[in-house]
Structure 1
Amino acid sequence: MLNGVPDPYFVGNLLALLAYAGFALYFVQTLFRSGVPTSGVTYVFLAAVLCSTLWAGLFLAVDLLRWTQWIETWALPLADLLRYAFWFWFVLLLLRPRRSGDAGREYRLFVYLATAAIAAGVLLYLARIAHADWAQLSGRMAAFAALAQAVMGLVLVEQLLRNTSADMRWNAKPVCLGLGAIFLFDVFVFSQAALFQTYDGDALSIRAAAHSMAVPLLYLASRRQTNWMGKLHVSRAAVFHSASLLLVGAYLLLISGVGYYVRYTGGEWGRALQLVLSFLALIALVVLMLSGSVRARLRVYISKNFFSYRYDYREEWLRFTAILSSSGSPQETGGMVVRAMANLVESPSGALWLRNGTGEDFIQVARWNLPEIREREGAESSFVSFLQEKGWIVDVDQLRRGHADYVSLSPASWLISDARYWIAIPLLARQELIGFVVLGRPRAAIELNWEVRDLLKTAASQASSYLAQMQAAEALLESKKFDAFNRMSAFVVHDLKNIVTQLSLMMKNAKRLRDNPEFQQDMLDTVENSLEKMRQLMLQLREGEKPHHGASSGVDLEQIARRLAVSARSKGRELELQLRAPVSTRGHDERVERVIGHVVQNAFDASPPEGKVSLLLDKAGSQALVQIADQGCGMSEEFIQNRLFKPFQTTKANGMGIGAYESFQYLQELGGKISVDSKLNQGTTVTILLPLFHHVAAGADMSMLGAK
């Protein structure tokens, strides 16, 4: 008490004791009430909290019982060592990898370092007990040992935060921030003692209060989820980076030296400047530890200057294969390929382009931290031809500068206009280009030398095989679906046969009983029943007729458009026609009408009863243009790119997904094309291009010959 006012240090120590004791009681009560099975990690955590409670109590006892010198000299340091030991044990249990290997070896290194830091403190403590003469000498050594423990604690917390998977980081952040605050404050306290052989009295007096700031964060973690302790474990294969320990140690030594110089040359402002510098340095340390760019630059520097080869190929290959095999579905495979290729060169972004069907253009199917590109790269473009013939990894920066290696290459505008693009890697499977990966600039500058190129080419070969296998599996799956469809068709034919037999029997009896009123009623019921059965069969089986091949005769598209308009009008719908030019195409009349009619019917199905559906007929160079537009529900870009023209893919609740696929296949047989432009809740425009059939010109030529 100072003049009737409580000592602020006493209040802080009392609050620290109450905070730790209260949290310990709450944690024990939660364990008994939750019924969640406890583990070794839980008991170690509880022991760390109890030791922290004892330590805070001893701090308060020093304030109250100033005549009890042995508490400050012997009991308090021992409680501090026990507290640090249990916190280290707790974090190391969370970091423990679930399988052996490189991660297991690095984990053991951290265990040895943490044990050595605690052991050094224990040895110095025992030396002070055994020899009183050691007290003065061991004081500074104890400060260095405590500083090493605090730095080791920061490194362990950093490893825990970095190795925790994204979905578990929500539970890990409060714990890491709380323990990080404890270790960070101790780095400040003990670094001064190690340099100047004396402790900062103010900082040391509020140490317990500062450490108690971790309690609200630990409480927050326990409130987020009942089994929060079980959610803190890191992923199966934790990836440790031992170089961070050396970086932190060297950084602290540098800052300590600068702080020493500032204090003794800054005059009366020296101490204030030292405190400001120390605080800024510690903040910078946290930023550096959490910066992916800094870690990438450190790895590049170490690889360049300390190893004859840049990569540990075994480790890189295991990591690359693990990323490729982690995809849970074919839709995720493209993204995994991009991430696996990007990780090899510390790139934070990338995109994958694949061929959209046999002989078609290349489209962007996956991207990571790069903008979406809707432009198609033609199969016959200069860029694709270069990748196919050369198989080179293209340095986009050299391409922009007009390097001699790329004189014959005319790059796409989307590739050279964006400065984020760094390299383009071809994906070749059996000497056939199936796609390419474009990577963004790496976090640290990397020279694209022979070693990097060889690694990327080998990885691209593996990724190509993986993608080709995935595409083959999809084709096999489609084939199996068609087999199932054919089996279903056999059942439908069987049902049709039964209906035909039933109708045939009715017609045979009609010759004898046509004047019988009861037979007439039964005949009407039979016809109605047969009609309903056939409607149900038509719902099950769409477009069951075998596709016809293109014929040499012409198909009048204008007549088809008019027939479709009449058919729509009979159903109470209106098809708006825009017949700008009479055009004809090659093919089978019924087959072409079925393709266009399927698109028109889809437009009506996607539109409300009052919605507008239009059909435009015109010439586009040497091709016939048929364009069907509606203002209906539309389709997503993902559905158009990946599912629209594949069998058994549909947006209709009762559709089979066969019509669009068969139409696409038949248009390809005729040498035509189909493209779709759609936006959700705005409408869809389908454009069909067909080769022109010049029957009018041929007839005119024959007339001229006859006239001659």
Structure 2
Amino acid sequence: MTAAIVAYGVAACAFALLAIQLMRGWRGGLPAGLLLAAVVASGLWATANSVFSYLRVDWIGQLAWVLDVARQACWLGFMVVLLQPLGGRKSSWPVVGATLVVLAECASIVSAGFGLTFGEFGNGVRLGSFLAGAVFGLVLVEQVYRGTPGEFRWGLKPLCLAVGATNVFELYFFADGMLFGRLDADLWSVRGAASALSLPLIAVSAGRIPSWTLKIAVSRVMVFHSTALALSGMYLIVIAAVGYYVRYVGGDWGRALQLVLLFGGVLSLGVLLFSGAQRARLRVFLNKHLFPYRYDYRLEWLRFTQALSDAGGTLDLGQSVIKALSDLVESSGGAMWLKDAAGRFTPHARLNQSSIDAVEEEDSVFCRFLDEREWVISLEEYRIRPGHYGGLVLPSWLSMIPDAWLILPLKSAGTLVGFVVLNTPRTPFDIDWEVLDLLKTAQRQAASYLARMQAAEALLEARKFDSFNRMTAFVVHDLKNLVAQLSLVLRNAERHKDNPEFQADVLATVAHVEGRMRALMLQLQEKRSIDPPRRVDVAHHLAAICLANRHRRPSVELEGEPAAAEVMAHPERLERILGHLVQNALDATPDSGRVSARVEPARDGLVRIVVEDTGCGMTKDFMRERLFRPFHTSKSGGMGIGVFEAQQYLNELGGAIVFESEPGRGTRVTVTLPAVTRDSQARAESGILAHGS
């Protein structure tokens, strides 16, 4: 009775799970409704028998017999409905036969319920009615299978096998009961488990035949793992049985031989479970014999996309593409060629394949074939039927790859990005239209990823060159100003070369220019600022700029007393920015004009530097549209990057620059910078430390 409780309980759970799956996928068809009713009735029958085995209450046993009749009636009705489109509609014998069987079973159950057992005769009638139901069920299975056209039997085959096997068990069970006058307790205890074993086959047929209006899907992953688990269990049972036999016939060595055999069996099982080739063979076998299509496309596409998006871990993008493509056809790996900047296809990545340095030209016959046809080339088929590929001549370096099997082109936006050579599969693998379509779709997806990778690399390289060119332009602009200072010294040298003060001034100017040029070269080489920001006295630097331009016409007037006004900045860069503003004012102002500069006392936490001139001025349109854009200038010999650099640097410091100008009336430039406070200095120093760490 313990075995009966467990067996019927497990069967009840199995029927319940299948019933839930069928209810979720039911779309209202009659065959699907009868199948659902049969599964529900079978689950209730198994539940009643499990409870009866535990409680031993008579009325629960009678309920189990009633549910048994309902279960068989639903299964017979389901088979009759399947038989009707196949010719059963022309005669009424299936309906009449099923009805008579069910009525006989009901009569025997009702008479027993009222105490009319009629002795052995009544028991025989009762068992005989159920025996007739089993026989009639086998007849219906045979009629359904034989009446189905051969091309459509693939979907019904699992169902006929399941229902037929269940009826064979029922036939043996009730025939044995009629022969001996009572039901066999052992057969009765495993009856529920025998019925539950047929459920996977029924679920497979329900998923294969959409005309039942059931939309259910059997997970390939679950089938794979369930099959692997079942095979592992059967293997261990065989090993245990052999070990049991060896123990009792091996004499004194029996127990030792049993332990060695069990250890070897478990070790062999581990090798098989972790073998990629064995797993591949099992997957191919299940996909070929249990499913209408070879692939679960949703799962395959999710896995393929995940493999590409996870690139950058243990595998780079190229290796991830190879692995994703090879997993579709159970291949162990391969190699990839991508087009380089010179238009040649060079090796880019490889996975589980030896290194090869073959280079293929873009205009070769092989590459033109891949680009124009976009075919997946099977080297096995090419060796057997080379004419199928229209006179294609494969490159000689392919013979250096002994495991080469498939060649996949990688095309994105109509351009051949590269190609992949895959290794031979772990298990025999047929290439049919389904595999070719999946590989073509996958290679397009992979090619788009690779094309974006190449575009991103090219963009990054272009940005690096752009950054270097921009820094070079800034340096050239500064050099232009330094050359202008030296030119001014040379122009005045003829008149003032004997003046000791002028000689000292020349030496100071040359030293200053040499230091600035050295600092600029260092900045260009290191691509960064040559010193960290620190406290800078703006008034001091502005005074030095005015002093350096004292020989210019007009001269720069420093207004007001140069009171200390400190900000956090790079001294060299800030002086260069202010020097650009003063230089622009001098260039825009005639000799009779006026240029002035001043530092306003700090207020509201801000320091303001004002440079004014009475030069030609600028229009509002120019200031709005072109002033702050690089390489736009109103001067004939200017480069147009001084104002752009000033704005970029002042923004970095948290400051601002404002231009006020009118044509013919001059320009006023106001530079605003945060004044140094304890808090601002602490923030700046912490930022420097964080950047350095």
Q: Same fold (TM over 0.5)?
A: no
Question: Which one has a bigger Cα radius of gyration?
Answer: 2
TM-score by length of 2: 0.41
